[in-house]
Homo-oligomer: A and B are copies of this chain.
Amino acid sequence: VNSKVIISEWRKLKLKMRCPGVWITLCVLCPCVVFGGKVLVFPIDGSHWVNMKVIIEELHSRGHEVSVVRSSDSWYIKETSPFYTSVTLSTGSGFDEDFLSNFVAKLLEIQREGKSAWMRFKLEMEMIEKGTEIHEKSGKMIEVLLEDKHLMQSIKDAKYDLVLTDPVSPVGAVVARYLGLPLVFNVRWTSTGEGHMTIAPSPLSYIPMTGTELSDKMSFFQRLLNVIVYFYTAVQIEVLLCPFYHGVIGKYLGPDIDYLSLFQAADLWLMRVDFVFEFPRPTMPNVVYMGGFQCKPAKALPQDLEDFVQSSGDHGVIVMSLGTLIGVLPRDLTDEIAAAFAKLPQKVIWRYTGDRPASLGNNTLLVDWMPQNDLLGHPKTKLFIAHGGTNGVQEAIYHGVPILGLPLIFDQPDNLLRIDVRGAGKIIDIFSMDQDIFYQGIQEVLNDPSYRMNMQRLSRLHRDQPMKPLDTALFWIEFVMRHKGAAHLRTDSYRMPWYSYHSVDVMLFLSGVVLIVLCTSVGFVRCLCSKFCVKTKRKHD
């Protein structure tokens, strides 16, 4: 009996009612009875797509049909695939590979060459402009989609079971609400708006905001910073983000729905972290942690790479990659890195697409692309030098390889901080780094056994789960399909006005009552006293 019995929910129920005996046998023989569902995906481009693709391929392999809505300027999301059908929208998404590479290059230049704060400010403005462009295009995309009566009718006719999307853009959430479909998020979340403002009550005293590079143990001034960042983010969401969508949301979903509530109404959050990586924090029953869902045992390396790795002998191998985005670095930095590597007895495999640095040693192999997971899982690999993207960090945890982190932007400093505070890696400031600092850093992580031991402890904890994270994620996606949502796991408290949610009205009422009782009592006592005094006075008179 095939373990994946593709059978619709209704047929399943009918079968169950007609022949309970057969049903019980089926259930025992195939513990993962699923039905062929239909999933509408609104992905985000870049590294987010890499993650979404893992889920899509698994959905496909379990017999579900997947349709992906992509924009015409998509960069990683292909129009044709054996795993999904696609709908291409004529509006661009605004996501842009070149912009990010250029941004990082300029950032490195400005920071390393000590250029003026004005240059830095200009660069930040470029990023904000890009964000504005992306949100404008998202708003436009919603309008184009919902105005395309033909397309919308075909989506309705397809009778999707759920919308799977990334909360970086609200397009999927808006469409799900418009069509009344269950909503599942696939999200990398530490404690951005998603955490503090949309999911679970999150005390600012021990739950750091994203981008603050703070841990769950903070000094007074760190907590102060965290509170300030919280208010800054809240204002940013209210003033910068919401206005982009106010018009379209009001037009298509009605005036009562606001931007944040679109997210708060999600049936399920699939979080791309776990609590081996993330600090412990409050969560909700509809949040599923699937950190490391993309990790798998290492496969054999291509022969030439295996030969190179084996040639390292007992010294082992160092793997360096700054992610798909950063193939090239400024020449001076490249030279410093190459020179430090040349001094090592280890062999180095470095993903680098730029010109060969002059200082490159014989022990260093430059590659355009590397089978990162297989390399990290190789027993000869001693160290991973990484920019700190979530995927790389989770793979390093899975394989128990300590990290020397060179964080650049986005969640990278936060990700690496989580490794650093657990003693499983070390962070170096790439902006001020030279040959010696880099060499010292490598030596420290290689030679102090605590880094490797701590990372292997994290690896043991991460691998000790009742189910594989990807299976858990798929179970809950299919759960939402089977039950047409997961409303019982989600609080509806987000529908309350803020003053009720925070019990401000109750507190004011209670204070009022206490005040009235106090005033009345004081008044009464005063009245009594004055009467008594008058009487005493009269007597004395």
Inter-chain contact A509/B276, CB cutoff 8 Å: no
Inter-chain contact A490/B282, CB cutoff 8 Å: no
Inter-chain contact B223/A492, CB cutoff 8 Å: no
Chain B residue at minimal CB-CB distance from A203 = B201
Inter-chain contact B506/A223, CB cutoff 8 Å: yes
Inter-chain contact B284/A282, CB cutoff 8 Å: yes
What per-residue 1/0 map shows which CB atoms of A488-528 lie under 8 Å from chain B?
Answer: 11111100100011110111011000000000000000000
- Given the interface contacts A205-B502, A224-B510, A464-B479, does A491 sit within 8 Å of B284 by beta carbon? no
Chain B residue at minimal CB-CB distance from A490 = B280
Inter-chain contact A203/B503, CB cutoff 8 Å: yes
Inter-chain contact A493/B285, CB cutoff 8 Å: no
Q: Is A216 an interface residue (CB 8 A)?
A: yes
| Alpha-carbon distance A279/B283, docked complex (angstroms) | 14
Inter-chain contact B204/A201, CB cutoff 8 Å: no
| Alpha-carbon distance A529/B159, docked complex (angstroms) | 70
Copies of this chain present in the complex amount to 2
Inter-chain contact A507/B227, CB cutoff 8 Å: yes
- Given the interface contacts A460-B483, A506-B220, does A491 sit within 8 Å of B206 by beta carbon? yes
What per-residue 1/0 map shows which CB atoms of A464-479 lie under 8 Å from chain B?
Answer: 1011000110010001
- Given the interface contacts A205-B503, A224-B506, does A217 sit within 8 Å of B492 by beta carbon? yes
A window 125-176: CB within 8 A of B: none
Which residues on B sit within 8 Å (CB–CB) of A505?
220, 223
Counting contact residues on chain A (CB < 8 A from B), the size range is 35 or more
Inter-chain contact A203/B501, CB cutoff 8 Å: yes
A window 209-250: CB within 8 A of B: 216-217, 220, 223-224, 227-228
Which of B205, B285, B502 contacts A496 (CB under 8 A)?
A: B205
Which residues on B sit within 8 Å (CB–CB) of A48?
none
What per-residue 1/0 map shows which CB atoms of A281-299 lie under 8 Å from chain B?
Answer: 1111110010000000000
Chain B residue at minimal CB-CB distance from A483 = B461
Q: Is A372 an interface residue (CB 8 A)?
A: no
Chain B residue at minimal CB-CB distance from A217 = B492
Which of B204, B284, B500 contacts A223 (CB under 8 A)?
A: B500
A window 179-211: CB within 8 A of B: 200-206
Q: Is A315 an interface residue (CB 8 A)?
A: no
Which of B200, B206, B489 contacts A493 (CB under 8 A)?
A: B206
Which of B205, B227, B275, B284 contacts A283 (CB under 8 A)?
A: B284
A455 to chain B, nearest CB (A): 14
Which of B204, B461, B489, B492 contacts A488 (CB under 8 A)?
A: B461
- Given the interface contacts A488-B461, A502-B205, does A475 sit within 8 Å of B483 by beta carbon? no
Q: Is A482 an interface residue (CB 8 A)?
A: yes
A486 to chain B, nearest CB (A): 9
Given A204-B506, A220-B506, A275-B285, 14 more pairs with CB closer than 8 A: A200-B200, A205-B493, A205-B500, A205-B501, A206-B492, A206-B501, A216-B491, A216-B492, A280-B284, A281-B284, A281-B285, A460-B483, A464-B479, A464-B482
